[in-house]
A and B are shown apart, each in its own frame.
Chain A
Amino acid sequence: MATTDGPDFGERENYLNAGHGLKSWLLTVDHKRIALLYLISITFFFFIGGFFALLIRLELLTPAGELVQSDTYNKLFTMHGQVMVFFFLIPAVPAVLGNFLMPLMIGAKDLAFPRINLLSWYLYIIGGTLMVYTILNGGVDTGWTFYTPLSTEFANTNVISAILGIFFAGFSSILTGLNFIVTTHRMRAPGMTWSRLPLFVWAHYATSIIQVLGTPVVAITLVLVALERLLHLGVFNPALGGDPLLFQHLFWFYSHPAVYIMILPGMGIVSEIVCCFSRKRIFGYKAMTLAVVGIAVIGFLVWAHHMFVAGISVYAALIFSLLSYFVAVPSAIKVFNWTATMYKGSITYQTPMLYCFGFVGLFTIGGLTGLFLAALGVDVHVHDTYFIIAHFHYIMVGGMVMAYLGGMHFWWPKISGRMYPEGWGKLAALIVFIGFNLTFFPQFILGYMGMPRRYHSYPPEFQILNVLSTAGATILAVGYLLPMVYFVWSMRYGKPAPANPWNAAGLEWQTPSPPPTFNFDEQPVVTWEAYNYDGIGEIPEKEREEVPVAH
């Protein structure tokens, strides 16, 4: 096995220098190059969505609506939601890190269907182009949920192009999931049994099941909404006797499991990083695998907790409330097991590990406040308030984006062949953590005090907390821009990365950084369990040295 220690740029062929020119990138079928195409595209949409978020926070700096009209404000939060959910959060980890790492982690040359992988990126780009068209053409104001009859009858903004964009992005997501399922089943290296798979792979397998079974339902539902606008089909039209609740059921049947599409891959990342920087095998491997599959399965049975005040039967609400509590069990198992993995481990505090600490803490707060919302009585009080906003941002931003950034730092040496500056990394992680909490913790209080979501003005007594939140969002923006800058900087000026800078146990570290086009010089044969940290030494001293932060 090639485990070269020193940098060998310019001598060895790898996936980055295997071909040159735009064509070699746009027609590539190499999963690692497609992952980079995705990385660039989702980063673009992350900053578009973030731009809308900043405008929202700016508007909420003062109680009166001073910056934008209420119509514009409706468009801002709608497009913030749609861009962030469908064009960043859902594809982020699977299509970038998953795409890059799944074949490497199971010892395969590529995903099962490399051309379908490329097709899924093109579908994403078509969808993204339609979304950009929607934004430039004046936006859409239905809320990211497209509730009928607002979206079918009354909205006179660009509903159809937004729906089409999301439809294409959805099929991109389905094809990624399909590829991962088949890859996990059929492409594992000799000796890589299911019980030896890294939890990152298990998490992506569970995610893929949701992508394949959930996404088509929202796809056809949105098609029906578009047909209702375009051809006046009457499926959800109340004037004909159509039921807007049916739309909500069909929409949340996907869109609740979609939050597990966002968080499960993040959990996979955290499992990898926690083991590596604790130098320990994961605590309760089997429980962890059952927990991800459990979250995926139970996650399909809780959707109507979004509709407790929408007029569903009280008995249905009771059942959905109970099932929503059940989904907390596997989630809690994961948090306990990460903590138990760290217990008595030789913990070192590199940047990826800092993000994992952030993830575990913030995910726990986000998850526990989710239980408040699953309780029928409390939900009536805080429904459609900033409490909800704070809750799901703790999961999606505090959980998922933290995990994504942690994963980007952890695998950046493998992806780029360069080390990122560790000192700057730690600083950015700290800024993100502080900025995040300052942005969203006040929103819990605002929501509890009764500030509703989706309004561009509010009573003056809420101003202090809103100012804190806006200040936090500004700090958070700095925290997100920093890694972007030093990642790009490190591609040229970073210290060349060895094959295994963290002395980590996964198969992906057994090949040079950056890997060759077909991943491994010879077919790996696996004879060890996952997270075999007992036989591996400490993290090399030279990687633990801190680069002092410039003052």
Chain B
Amino acid sequence: MPTSQAVVDEHAHENPALLHHFATEGQQKNAASLGMWVFLAQEVMFFGGMFCAYLVYRYKYFADFGSASQQLNIWLGAINTAVLICSSLTVVLAVRAAQLGKRMALVFWLVATIFLGLVFLGIKADEYAEKFEKHHVPGAHFSYHELLPGQEKLPEAERQYANPHHAEMYFSLYFALTGMHALHMIIGVGLFGFLACMAWRGKYTPEFYTPIENSGLYWHFVDIIWIYLFPLLYLIDRHR
């Protein structure tokens, strides 16, 4: 850890992006980057509370949650996973373009990221609409009458159905987790829209592209949340 970052650099104040209370650009960039990582640590704990609740109930009501999980469309989930992984690539390419000072390429990759984010949100909206149609949204109109996993192979008289209360808890957690994730996606899309405008005006240079890099970190974090949500919500107990 350098302890003398604040050594006054006589030339530093020529950069208009350097804020008054930093001594050097390096100090400013390091501070912004550490700030983003600390913020993401906070985000991990924020989602962590819901993941914890999900894991407790998944363990407690394993078969019922398995039944409810089979109501999700695995193909839409898989496509969305692929879309998000691609958007992580476009973000990295945007950061690369900013490092190289290629303004048009930066704008292009930012817009591509926004596009992929919107595709994800569109598919998610379609999935939500299906839940409303099937009355799988928790609340007064919730209804659920589905078999436990693996029961369809048995003769009809011996089949067991999932507990609708536990299925309602599954969908509560499904909406809480994916809803909070979608909210983060919407914030990310808005952020990239702002950055794309700024990039178009040529605000970012190879010397100053910290907002692009830190927003990229945020986007990767939101992707990683989905990388955990997809198997937890869609895939467990799917093989039977």
Contact = CB atoms under 8 A, between A and B. Distances in A.
A and B form one complex:
yes
Given A187-B6, A233-B138, A227 B42 contact: no
Interface in B33-72: 34-35, 38-39, 41-43, 45-50, 52-53, 56-57, 60-61
A234 B52 CA distance: 15
Contact of A216 (B6, B34, B49, B176): B49
A529 to B, nearest CB: 14
A217 B35 contact: no
B31 interface: yes
A239 interface: yes
Interface in A501-532: 518, 523
A190 interface: yes
Given A220-B47, A246-B53, A174 B3 contact: no
A178 B36 CA distance: 9
B172 interface: yes
B213 interface: no
Interface in A175-208: 178-179, 181-182, 185-194
Interface in B2-28: 3-8, 19-21, 23, 27
Contacts of A181: 34, 38
Interface stretch (A47-55, A82-90, A105-113): A105-113
A67 interface: no
Interface of A: 107-114, 116, 174, 178-179, 181-182, 185-194, 212-217, 219-221, 224, 227, 231-235, 237, 239-243, 246, 250, 518, 523
B136 interface: no
B138 A231 contact: yes
Contacts of A220: 46-47, 49-50, 180
B143 interface: no
B4 A234 contact: no
A181 B27 CA distance: 14
B121 interface: no
Contacts of A224: 49-50, 53, 176
B172 A523 contact: no
B3 A241 contact: no
A250 B52 CA distance: 9
A182 B61 contact: no
B166 to A, nearest CB: 5
A249 to B, nearest CB: 8
B3 A240 contact: no
A191 B7 CA distance: 10
B52 A216 contact: no
A523 B46 CA distance: 39
A186 B165 contact: no
Given A212-B41, A217-B46, A232 B3 contact: no
Given A214-B45, A231-B139, A235-B173, A185 B56 contact: no
Contacts of A113: 31, 35
A108 B21 CA distance: 8
Nearest to B51: A220
A187 B1 CA distance: 12
Given A187-B31, A188-B6, A234 B168 contact: yes
B169 interface: yes
A233 B172 contact: yes
B31 to A, nearest CB: 4
A174 to B, nearest CB: 6
Nearest to B30: A186
Contact of B34 (A116, A182, A221): A182
A242 B166 CA distance: 8
Contacts of B8: 523
27 contacts: A109-B21, A114-B19, A116-B35, A182-B31, A186-B27, A187-B27, A191-B4, A212-B38, A212-B41, A213-B41, A214-B45, A216-B43, A216-B45, A216-B46, A217-B46, A221-B49, A232-B138, A233-B172, A233-B176, A235-B53, A240-B166, A240-B169, A241-B61, A241-B165, A241-B166, A243-B56, A250-B52
B42 A174 contact: yes
Contacts of A237: 169
Contacts of A212: 38, 41-42, 45
Contacts of B46: 216-217, 219-220
B163 interface: yes
Nearest to B47: A220
B31 A112 contact: yes
A-B interface, 5 closest residue pairs, ranked by CB to CB distance from nearest: A216-B46, A109-B21, A110-B21, A233-B172, A220-B49
B157 interface: no
Contacts of B20: 109-110, 518
B35 to A, nearest CB: 5
B172 A186 contact: no
A227 B176 contact: yes
Given A182-B34, A186-B31, 12 more contacts: A113-B31, A178-B35, A178-B38, A178-B39, A186-B27, A212-B45, A224-B53, A231-B139, A232-B140, A239-B165, A242-B57, A250-B53
B230 interface: no
B128 to A, nearest CB: 13
A113 to B, nearest CB: 6
Nearest to A31: B21
A53 B172 CA distance: 38
Given A110-B21, A182-B34, A241-B169, A217 B45 contact: yes
Contacts of A110: 20-21
B144 to A, nearest CB: 11
A243 B4 CA distance: 52
Nearest to B172: A233
A235 B176 contact: yes
A186 B34 contact: yes
Contacts of B3: 188, 190-194
Contact of B6 (A217, A250, A523): A523
B108 interface: no
A233 B8 CA distance: 55
Contacts of A191: 3-4
Contacts of A194: 1, 3
B161 interface: no
